[in-house]
Structure 1
Amino acid sequence: MNALLLDHQLCFAVHAASRAFDALYRRHLAELGLTYPQYLVMLVLWEREPVSVKELGTALRLDSGTLSPLLKRLEAAGLVRRERDPGDERSVLVRLTPEGTRLRERAEPLPGHVLEVTGLSPQELVDLHGTLGRLTRSLTDAAR
């Protein structure tokens, strides 16, 4: 086996799958007025809010230089608002606006559609999710 063949690279297989996900999501998220990174921010906020900018960055594995412009655009779109944490003036909290909360209803069908078009069985999806989680943890640990 030639270890340097592109088709033998796990990293390329994951990269290609990620790009395919991006293309699929891009089409659907355009209808919601969101980019994929903005959608990820909204997912965290729909799950739990308010969230500090620091907590949001940790959850999404994004640094503040990437996250700040995302939040600025979401705020300009009227979906979120940022405010100082009254308990810690150094911390900024991110909250959904009523429009951001309403957007959740329009986004609800998206995950089901994406899962459906993968062509994988429910068990294969569970297994793949677990495997990717373990892979991410191992790679993150190795990169430290």
Structure 2
Amino acid sequence: MDYTKCINFLLTIAQHEVFLIFSESLAQFGITPGQYGVLACLWKDETLTPKEIAQILRVENSTISGVLDRMQKRGLIDRVLDPNNRRSIRVKATNEGLSIKEDVQQKIEELNDSVLHNFSQHEREELLILLSRIGHINLEETEKG
């Protein structure tokens, strides 16, 4: 098979290009695209366990642990005891993590528009649906939260 017709190759190249653009732009807020993912989860759900964050972002628990360590040192998140289970830790955004929410979300919208500037509105919506199907994400359920 011609590699330019391989879905893995095409998705990898597209993801790499988008990642570079997002990395450069999010650096002004002192965060990486991975840290944005964590903050976006916490902005939506307020507190989550590290395991829940890892499941949402589809990364290993060991990966999320390092990301959370760096974010805690930066003052973006705190780890707190779960009031319902004192053996469990929950993660929440700090005031610092919450203070960048609007600016970061605005930047993400601008970046999405920039990356998709050659796409019609219909193509943008269809792309989200198709990518979500590949990732088995229910957009309707995600948007409710």
State which of 90, 94, 101 in structure 2 corresponds to 1:97.
94
Alignment match, 2:135: 136
Query: More deviation in 21-30 or 104-113?
Result: 104-113
The structure having more radius of gyration, on CA atoms, is 1
Name which of 66, 77, 80 aligns with 1:80. Answer: 77
One-letter identity of the residue aligned with 2:127: L
Once superposed, which parts of structure 1, at least 4 consecutive aligned residues long, lie more than 3 Å away?
none
Unaligned runs of 5+ residues in structure 1 are 139-144
Q: Where does residue 123 of structure 2 map in the other structure? A: 124
Give distance in 2, aligned partners of 1:53 and 1:112: 26
Candidates 51, 54, 65, aligned match of 1:54 = 51
Asked which structure has the greater RCO (Cα within 8 Å, sep 6+), the reply is 2
Tell me how far 1:115 sits from its aligned partner: 2.2
CA RMSD of aligned residues (A): 1.4
Match of 1:35 in 2: 32
Q: Equivalents in 2 of 1:30, 1:51: separation in Å? A: 25
Cα distance in structure 2, aligned partners of 1:128 and 1:60? 19
Q: Which runs of 5+ in 2 are unaligned?
A: 138-145
Query: Any idea what the Cα deviations from partners look like across 1:62-89, whole Å, max 9, x if unmatched?
Result: 1210000100100000011001212112
Aligned positions, number: 135
Aligned to 1:108, the other structure's residue is in SS state helix
Q: TM-score, normalised by structure 2?
A: 0.87
